[in-house]
Amino acid sequence: MPELPEVEKARALVEKKAGGRVIESVDDSDSYVCRPHAPGELHDALAGRTVTGAGRVGKSFWLETDGGEGPELGLHLGMAGRIIVAGEGAGHPKPLRNPAWDRLTIAFADGGALVMRDKRRLSRAVLNPDRSNLGPDAERITREQFRRRVGRGRGPVKARLMDQATIAGVGNLLADETLWQAGISPLHPAGELDHAELDHLRRELRAATRRAHRLGGVHKGQVIPYRRRGASCPHCGEPMERGKVGGRTTWWCPACQP
């Protein structure tokens, strides 16, 4: 599933390959992915506009048009979405090659296109997306914001990390990798972490995100290959433990993450 590093790669690809190009047409005929817009509504809003940038908060990103004077096109990759521009792709860790999975196509006046491909049809495209329900971006959240937002409540800390209204961008794999690196149990009540533990957790989140950027995705994390039955912790050799946190399958080392 695309998480913050994969989405940032897609955003950067759009900015690099689509920036400065004029939109000639938009195929928005997939009314499920483009809901609540009717077919043709995205085309009418965007045709003739120039892509002038791309922004991101958490796992959501958007195209900016006409230097901020035109509408934004918000994109969310869902669980298996991938963005392809000029033959180069980013998003889902595995390349998606079946054109039958193309859910949105933006054709440019100078030739070529931006395509959102999604075999599971869980991606979204929406005009002028509302981002008011998102917390601070996980890469840019300050120490004080992290303490205040993550370090409260009686619920498990992993659930707090994955709550997009608390902090935007942390998914299941990134949360497991971060907590393992920090030596904190995903079941630990968030409100019982002191400032030193929260500061350490924030540093490990930033480090895990940087590694994912460098290596090509969250799936390249150090503990991710050991999130399976019969696997042992790569640090201490203790069998990995499996459970559910916030409705998501969670893996941790009971020895390294007491």
186 prior amide bond cis, ω within 30 = no
Select which of 3, 64, 177, 204 is catalytic.
3
Domain boundaries along the sequence of the chain:
4-127, 143-252
Q: What is the pLDDT of residues 140-151, one digit of tens each?
A: 999 999 999 999
Q: What is the pLDDT of residue 62?
A: 97
Is 154 labeled as catalytic in the residue annotation? no
- Averaged pLDDT for residues 223-242: 97
- CATH number 1.10.8.50 given to 143-252: yes
pTM of the full predicted structure? 0.92
- Cα separation, 128 vs 57, in Å, equals 14
Q: What is the pLDDT of residue 94?
A: 87
Q: What is the pLDDT of residues 9-22, one digit of tens each?
A: 999 999 999 999 99
Instruction: Please answer whether residues 11 and 4 qualify as being in contact, where contact means their C-beta atoms are separated by less than 8 angstroms.
Output: no
Nearest to 88 by CA among 13, 21, 11: 13
Place 223 in a pLDDT band, splitting at 50, 70 and 90: very high
* Whether residue 201 has pLDDT greater than 80: yes
Q: C-alpha angle 190/193/195, rounded to 5°?
A: 125
Select which of 152, 203, 211, 248 is catalytic.
248
Q: What is the pLDDT of residues 186-196, one digit of tens each?
A: 999 999 999 99
- Averaged pLDDT for residues 120-141: 96
29 exposure class (CB count in 10 Å sphere: 0-12, 13-18, 19+): middle
- Averaged pLDDT for residues 22-42: 97
SS3 label, residue 213 = helix
Select which of 17, 49, 59, 202 is catalytic.
59
Select which of 2, 5, 129, 186 is catalytic.
2
Is 39 labeled as catalytic in the residue annotation? no
Q: What is the pLDDT of residues 60-75, one digit of tens each?
A: 999 999 999 999 999 9
Superfamily of domain 4-127: MutM-like, N-terminal (3.20.190.10)
Which one-letter DSSP state was computed for residue 159? Answer: H
* Whether residue 1 has pLDDT greater than 80: no
Is 5 labeled as catalytic in the residue annotation? no
Question: Which amino acid belongs to residue 174?
Answer: L
* Domain 143-252 in the same topology as domain 4-127: no
Lowest mean pLDDT among 35-49, 81-95, 162-176, 193-207: 81-95
Strand partners, 211: none
> Mean pLDDT score of the chain, rounded to an integer?
96
Q: What is the pLDDT of residue 30?
A: 96
Is 248 labeled as catalytic in the residue annotation? yes
